[in-house]
Chain A
Amino acid sequence: MQEHTRPGGRRVPRFGLALALAALAACASPTTSDEFGWERTAAEKSAPSGGESLAQRKFELRRAQRDMVAFYETLDSMQSRRDYEGYTLFSGFLDAYMGIYLEPLLEREGQSSHPELMALDANLRLVKAQVLVQLRDTGRAEDAIEDLEQRYRGRENMLVDYPIGTQSTLGDALKLLRERKWNG
């Protein structure tokens, strides 16, 4: 057991903190399995959100979307300038980021049908698909598009943040995304 000490302060067992954090972030953190060595239950993953935890979920989805937009802009900029070394290096980072943080965030089934989260969820999935198109990973991009189509069937008129920086209906966004997938 490690102890954490502030200069001139008291020694505090860290395990207590870990427990407190785990309890607080049970339905918020996508990465708790890595940090504390246990998996969350399926019930925890899909538990209906409300109150502070809903606010937390919204915050996470919004931030993840903005982060993905920043990644997309960086990728796009390097491609335009034909910075292949930078592009390769950054692609590796992006792959890892999506695998470790983004996918767990999107795996929470409840948020695609939650009235207050579904638009945020769709926005995040769209920007993920756009990044995959930018990475020229057409297979995964196609999977992401199909997943969006299935997940939001019948809700194609929902307004989403796509193309990045503008808005359109989900139906139009998916059509455009598919065109971009083929056009590269």
Chain B
Amino acid sequence: MKKTALSFALALSALLPGAAAGPARAEARDADAWAGYLDYAYVYSSAEPEALRKRLAEYGREAGLSLADYIARRFEGPAAERAPFDEARARRTAIAHLLLYLAEGEPLELEKSVEAARQLEDRLGRHENRYWYHYVLAHRALEKGHRYDFVAEVLRLWLRAVVPLEVPYETLHTLSLSEAPNSGFVSALPYLYENVARMILIRSQQMGLDRDLDPLSAVVRLLHDGRVGAHPDVIPAEASSRDYLDRIVARLNGPESDEGSLTFTLALFEASKYHDQARGLLASQGLDAKTVEALRVASGAYEAALNRATTDQGRCAVYTRVLRLLGETYAAKQRLALDPEFEVPFSIEGAIDVYARLAEALDGGFEDLGYRKVGRQAYVDAMRGLWEEVEEASLNVADYYLGRATEQRHLADEHSRNAARVYGRYLSFFLQFATPRGQEALPDSAYFAAYEAARGFGDAFLGYAARDPKPAEIELAMQRYRSALMLFPFDRRIWSGLTAALGRQGRESEYMDLVRPVAESVVRSRSIETWIRQREPGFERVEATRRALSDSLVIMHLGFADAGSVDELDAKLGELRARRSQTEARLASLAGQRSALEGGAGESLPAAPAEDAAPATPRGLDRVALHDLERQTVEAEELLQQLDRQIGARSQALPLYRETLATDGLADELRAQRDHPVHKLLRRMYHENRS
């Protein structure tokens, strides 16, 4: 904004007739050149103090004396006091002191300006006098922090100085006479619009006026409606506050409003600016002292905005933005491995409370929460926006704690439990609202976030805590892993996480019982079937997982194998095939031996000797050998069958398992993209399972 204001001042200075022109420069040397500069002060009086100081200094050089000296010479001293009242002199005195106040910030100058302006009270028939009179008094109200006086003065200024000029200006403008030399104060109208806009939107905030400005929202709307920025021939677009006004009015009328409150809109807008500054510092300087201070200022500004909010619409807007600040801060802490002292007076619980209140109106009554003007869709979108920030902040905060648990092993238990607590809170939030009634106000990404929280919860206990988890904690972690599987079965790693948890309790054998329902729900899912049939985005990977989960051997592989062991599994399949070849060869050999023995006996042997048979003879020995050969043959045949089964099963399962490896990147993609199409599939699957 400062940049805009500066460019505004510079552009305005260029507009001043004769300000820097050659022939005019000589004339401006006239001792009364200041009178001209003061008469046109409406052109440049809204400039930022630094630009204004430069402008006044330049005029001083051109006039041959500074403004302060001009005031002393013309408006003060015994001669001036003796002089009869002069309306123009009184007005210029008020303007001159006001300019010094605006440039230097000296309140005494403002008082002198007010004193001079008061002398015009019975000369307010003249629009120029009216304008400066109310403009000076409005500045005084700002300086004193008298908010009602400020509002009243601006309304009076509008009513008495601006509105009466509008029709004459339009008439002159239509006739292309609005900038004619003799158009008088009427031609000032575009500048008056700018000045009023800047006083309400910028100056009031710089002076810390942060409440009870709402009657001025009417003036702001009027300024926005074909007034500010409507005269680019007079004030160039880049020098106008039009863009700023556009953004303010969009907020005022939009879903991030507090039912049309200007006070709130300005407060939130200021906070957003501080947030942007802090974000810029975070990106360029990391978490140094300056950034931390900027974050603190932004957070304080958000707190001020929250205090100004009177509706849940306003509170939702503040929390949506401040949770982003919170999430960004924790992400930076984790990324930079720094943990500066920095308190944010907001909590995720506060945001959840606001969400819960908003959710109560899903069946009706959202208008009473502040969304009357923007409609139901905006209300639902606002809830989704708030949810997204709750999920993002929760995951960032929990990630931060897990990161700390790794870095500070002596505090690993505390950090991992903090992470589990944050994940648990998100899961409770999710379970409370991911219902048929509440799901409308959940973003698609809420389901994957729930998966991340469930998995993170398990990881916090089983992967990050320093001491061995208690049985109850392991049990809880196991349940969370299983929930994670139900929410997002396409992450191969979560299956092995579950077996690891089971292994901690020696309960690996329960694996299949636990995961079979998950696998069945995937195989039978109508949502998945439709997704694949309609060839929705990513359907190939979804289909691969579904195929894999239809095979119990693959499910076992998912639980007990890891990606690196695929080659090993391939090698074992090769071994099985080799063993089968060996077994086949052995069977052939056994068949040969048997033929040889049977050929020597000349007859086929009975299966068993008769009861009255004579004791074993050499011929009896052949019979024993034959029996032994038959036993070996049966065993080899059984082995062959077993090998065939194993080879068959593994030949089928291994390619399917290998296919599941191709789904590995999906979780990362969903994490990075809130609008990834597969989020929609997860939503459908969740509600299908729940139904």
Contact = CB atoms under 8 A, between A and B. Distances in A.
Contacts of A56: 167, 170-171, 174
B107 interface: no
B260 A21 contact: no
B215 interface: yes
Interface in B341-391: 370, 372-373
Contacts of B167: 25, 28-31, 56, 60
Contacts of A9: 17-18, 24, 36, 181
Given A24-B175, A56-B170, A59-B170, A7 B151 contact: no
A34 interface: yes
B572 interface: no
A70 B218 CA distance: 6
A81 B18 contact: no
B214 A70 contact: no
Interface string A40-61: 0000000000001001100110
B16 interface: yes
A90 B147 CA distance: 14
B214 A86 contact: yes
A66 B155 CA distance: 17
B194 interface: no
A8 B172 contact: no
Interface in A69-121: 70-71, 73-74, 76-78, 80-83, 85-86, 89-90, 93, 96-97, 100-101
B260 A74 contact: yes
Interface string B19-30: 101011101100
Contact of B28 (A8, A55, A101): A8
A52 B18 contact: no
Contacts of B221: 70, 73-74
Nearest to B155: A93
B303 interface: no
A131 B218 CA distance: 13
A89 B215 contact: yes
Given A8-B25, A90-B218, 18 more contacts: A2-B87, A4-B185, A6-B181, A8-B17, A8-B23, A8-B36, A20-B182, A21-B171, A24-B175, A28-B171, A35-B164, A60-B167, A67-B225, A81-B311, A83-B214, A89-B155, A90-B215, A97-B159
A16 interface: yes
B246 interface: no
A2 B225 contact: no
A70 B212 contact: no
A60 B226 CA distance: 13
A70 B259 contact: no
Interface size class of A (residues with CB under 8 A): 35 or more
Interface in B158-174: 158-159, 163-164, 166-168, 170-172, 174
A31 B130 CA distance: 15
A70 B172 contact: no
Nearest to B368: A80
Identify which of B21, B127, B182 gathers the most chain A CB atoms within 10 Å of its CB. B182
B39 interface: yes
A81 B261 contact: yes
Contacts of B16: 7
B214 A8 contact: no
B182 A16 contact: yes
B21 to A, nearest CB: 7
Nearest to B310: A81
Contacts of B183: 17
Contacts of B158: 93
A118 to B, nearest CB: 21
A167 interface: no
Nearest to A76: B260
Contacts of A100: 159, 163
A14 interface: yes
B451 interface: no
A85 B184 contact: no
Contacts of B155: 89-90, 93
29 contacts: A4-B39, A6-B39, A7-B16, A7-B17, A7-B19, A7-B33, A8-B28, A9-B36, A10-B181, A14-B182, A20-B177, A24-B172, A56-B174, A60-B167, A70-B221, A73-B260, A78-B214, A80-B370, A81-B260, A81-B261, A81-B310, A83-B214, A86-B151, A86-B212, A89-B215, A90-B214, A90-B218, A93-B215, A100-B163
Contacts of B217: 73-74, 77
Contacts of B578: none
B279 to A, nearest CB: 31
Nearest to B311: A81
A76 B158 CA distance: 20
A12 interface: yes
Given A74-B260, A81-B311, A90-B215, A6 B36 contact: yes
A157 interface: no
A4 B163 contact: no
Contacts of B181: 6, 9-10, 12
A93 B159 contact: yes
Interface string B175-190: 1010001111110000
A118 B169 CA distance: 25
Nearest to A60: B167
Contacts of A66: 225
Given A74-B260, A101-B163, A7 B170 contact: no
Nearest to B16: A7
B209 to A, nearest CB: 13
A52 B25 CA distance: 41
Name the residue in A7, A29, A35, A78 with the highest tally of chain B Cβ atoms < 10 Å from its Cβ.
A7
A55 B175 CA distance: 13
A55 B201 CA distance: 33
A21 B186 contact: yes
B466 interface: no
Contacts of B151: 86, 89
Nearest to B35: A5
B214 A77 contact: yes
A32 to B, nearest CB: 9
A151 B63 CA distance: 61
Contacts of B33: 7-8
A118 B167 CA distance: 20
B144 interface: no
B126 A89 contact: no
